[in-house]
Amino acid sequence: MDDQENLNDTTRQQLELLTGLLAKVSRLEFEVATRQTRQKLEADIDAHDLQLLSEEFSRKSLRSRKLESLQMVLVDVKEKFEASLSDQTSIIASQKLNIVRDSIA
């Protein structure tokens, strides 16, 4: 019977050891799966943030080009307005000069 009891004790110890090892393996698998999930989520978030930054840069770049274009148009309009104003000033001065000549003559 001693041999049978020793065999049972040895088997029980091995079973306890295997159960403990299985629990450790399960815990490690869970930790690895959790870490992989976290890394994937972080990568997805980083990719999404990068996409948002890229879209924002594109919008700002487009807005900047539109503002530059608008600025060029405004400069052109200003120059034309100043030229027109100069022409009108010359015409008015000429008309006033003619009125003064007519009144003298």
pLDDT tens readout for residues 63-103 = 999 999 999 999 999 999 998 888 888 888 888 888 888 88
Q: Is the pLDDT of residue 19 over 80?
A: yes
Q: Is the pLDDT of residue 25 over 70?
A: yes
3-state secondary structure of 39: helix
Half-sphere exposure of 24 (CA within 13 A, CB side): 6
Q: Considering the entire predicted model, what is its pTM?
A: 0.46
Share of the chain above pLDDT 90, in %: 66
